[in-house]
Amino acid sequence: MIRKKIIPLLFLGVGITSLNAQTAAPQNSSSFTLQQAIDYSFKNSPNYLNAQNDVLMAKYKRKEVIGMAMPQINASVDMKNFLEIPTSLIPGEIFGAPAGTFIPVKFGTTFQATGTAEASLLVFSADYLIGLKATKEMIGLMNISVTRSKIETVSQVSKAYYGVLVNKERIKLLDANLTKLEKTLNDTKAINQQGFVEQIDVDRLEVSYNNLVTEKQKIERLVTLSEYMLKFQMGYTGKENLTLTDSLIVTDNENFDASKIDVTKRAEYQLLERQQQLNTINVKRLKFGYLPTLVAYGSLGYSGMRNDLSFFTPQHMWFPTALIGAKLSLNIFDGLQRHYKIQQAKLDFTKGENNLKNLQLAIELESASAAVNYNNAVSSLQIQKCNMELAQNVYNVSQKKYEQGVGTNLEVVTAQSSLKESETNYFNAVYDMLVYKIDFLKATGSLVK
């Protein structure tokens, strides 16, 4: 398979920037750009490697079938030691005995040896010719399976990579909020000690601060879990933590239109098309089964008979046997079995046509659904971004008013809680848009080119 290029990641709207995107990460490295993580998974993901092995197996199967048309040569050596030489009966009247009587006699020697070499050649077989064509189609089928596995790998690794990035960005914002809130809390404690604010004001801020610390701990655990998921999708077995060298960047995003979908780009559709070709070949194979099969063969052997094991002494002879022949096999009547097999194969082809139509409808539905989900995610992201900016402004104003003595402590706590909620909603929207965009590109067959 020619190595496919992954679609440029800048096209992903909420994309990433890379510090060293053109360099490949070493196998023992724990630092990865998204592209390097995808390339690593192509070399280490068990599912993708198994798909490649299926292609090799199909190629070896084709070579096995080709070998059926080559000369088949076999040799054998048969050595017999008769502990009792077989007895034969001859009519007694030959030797003057009464008619109807038999005389037992023993013919042969104690030791007999036979060496034989046989060769055969398949001259003509319709099953062989059709089977050879079927193995070629099977290789194409396995290659498409590799492409489908590659698409799945790109999708899964990308989603896992984005999951880690989004959670790390959430931690950065939480750290910034914790720094601000901690300053406000410390200032309030100092003012409380001077008797200018009540203890309840300190308690409210401390509760809010503790909630932020707990939220940060949860996200840190999510980052660890996200890294394990990324390692799993990459096939990464290292114990060290992964270092993701790409950064998350939010850019403007255009809406997608799923009205013009080329279903032939989808690997699943290509697989069914290839399966239909195999169904067509199967019908031909059964029809051509009425043709005869011709096999040419030959055999050359030597046999020796001794009363001892002196088979290779010059005074003893070996007796040759040689033959050549040809066998023509023709199925004259099989009780209409093959006829009904052909009818079944034709129905398999018809079912395949129906499956293709059903898959086309399913792909169009999936693409339309993915476009709607993505477009909704874009709108949601824009709204959540505005909400986060507004919540940040409200928090900043509340904090300034409180510091100047014209605002209440409760306003700061409420604004901080709203800011935390809006930031959570924003990053959920960011991740949803990334996932839905990958799903749309996958649904339209555009994720891997």
What pLDDT is recorded for position 20? 39
Domain-located, residue 93: no
199-222: average pLDDT: 91
Which one-letter amino acid corresponds to residue 339? H
What pLDDT is recorded for position 403? 82
What pLDDT is recorded for position 84? 87
426-443: average pLDDT: 92
CA distance 356 to 272: 6
Domain-located, residue 97: no
3-state percent breakdown (helix, strand, coil) of the chain, nearest 5: 60, 15, 25
Residue 309 clears pLDDT 80, i.e. is over it: no
More confident residue, 8 or 263: 263
Least confidently predicted of 95-104, 209-218, 231-240: 95-104
71-78: average pLDDT: 95
Per DSSP (E only), the strands in 201-309 are 243-244, 247-249, 293-306
Q: Is 124 helix (H, G, I), strand (E, B) or coil?
A: strand
Number of domains in the chain: 1
Is the entire prediction scored with pTM above 0.85?
Answer: no
Beta-sheet pairing, 111-124 with 293-306: antiparallel
Q: Is 323 helix (H, G, I), strand (E, B) or coil?
A: strand
Banded pLDDT at 252 (limits 50, 70, 90): low
444 burial type by CB count under 10 A (0-12 exposed, 13-18 middle, 19+ buried): buried
What pLDDT is recorded for position 99? 83
- Report the share of the chain in percent with pLDDT over 70: 91
Residue 310's nearest CA partner among 172, 129, 163, 111 is 111
What pLDDT is recorded for position 17? 42
What pLDDT is recorded for position 13? 40
Per DSSP (E only), the strands in 5-158 are 15-17, 31-32, 72-81, 87-91, 102-106, 111-124
User: What residues make up the domain containing 63?
Assistant: 9-71+122-293+335-443
Domain-located, residue 313: no
More confident residue, 107 or 28: 107
325-344: average pLDDT: 92
Candidate ranges 194-198, 201-205, 215-219; pick with highest mean pLDDT: 215-219
Q: Is 340 helix (H, G, I), strand (E, B) or coil?
A: helix
CA distance 90 to 100: 10
Banded pLDDT at 23 (limits 50, 70, 90): very low
Banded pLDDT at 155 (limits 50, 70, 90): very high
Residue 321 clears pLDDT 80, i.e. is over it: yes
Give the domain CATH number at 276: 1.20.1600.10
| Site of tokens 């900043």 | 396
Domain-located, residue 84: no
Domain-located, residue 439: yes
Residue 445's nearest CA partner among 163, 157, 155, 234 is 155
414-427: average pLDDT: 91
CA distance 95 to 104: 12
244-248: average pLDDT: 88
- Report the share of the chain in percent with pLDDT over 90: 61
Hey, which residues does 303 pair with through a beta bridge? 114, 319
Residue 71 clears pLDDT 90, i.e. is over it: yes
What pLDDT is recorded for position 253? 63
More confident residue, 395 or 26: 395
More confident residue, 257 or 209: 209
CA distance 228 to 237: 10
Residue 285 clears pLDDT 70, i.e. is over it: yes
Domain-located, residue 259: yes
Domain-located, residue 318: no
Per DSSP (E only), the strands in 233-292 are 243-244, 247-249
Domain-located, residue 203: yes
Residue 129 clears pLDDT 70, i.e. is over it: yes
Banded pLDDT at 27 (limits 50, 70, 90): low
pLDDT averaged over every residue in the chain: 87
